[in-house]
Amino acid sequence: MCIDASVVIALVVPETLEEIARIAQTYHAWRGNAVGAHRDAPYRDIPGFCRSATLDEIRKHGYALTPGRYVGAAAAEDDGEPFAEKMSRLTAQLRAQQAEAARLDAAIIANLKALGFWEEGT
């Protein structure tokens, strides 16, 4: 069984004990020995979170155990914003961020020149 825990916990510190409990409950359900309030809940594959891969599948992937290879991605939620509108908004946001980045780059270069640490062409 593969669990991609990156979807529910931070890289270093889990966000909540509930997220750790969800991972543990999923594992125990997969093993067939779920406990507590979830003891009657059978294991099920959840796209983007967990999937029980067969040995043949793992063999076909050269025994790579990267969870995302087997777990896949969760279905994206529709935010209700039409695609064309979203792309126009995001493109405008990108252009604004690129303009701000260019302004900041110029300010940094001006400061480095003033301090004598900037030579053109290097």
Mean pLDDT of 43-64: 92
- Check residue 37 and give its pLDDT: 66
Assigned token pair, 116 = 């004598």
- Check residue 113 and give its pLDDT: 96
- Check residue 107 and give its pLDDT: 98
Assigned token pair, 11 = 């890289």
Residue 63 DSSP SS3: coil
Spell out the domain ranges in the chain: 2-71, 78-122
Q: Is the pTM of this model over 0.85?
A: no
pLDDT tens digits, one per residue of 77-105: 889 999 999 999 999 999 999 999 999 99
Model confidence at 106: pLDDT above 70? yes
Per-position b or e across 24-42, b if 16+ CB within 10 A of its CB: ebbebbbeeebeeeeeeee
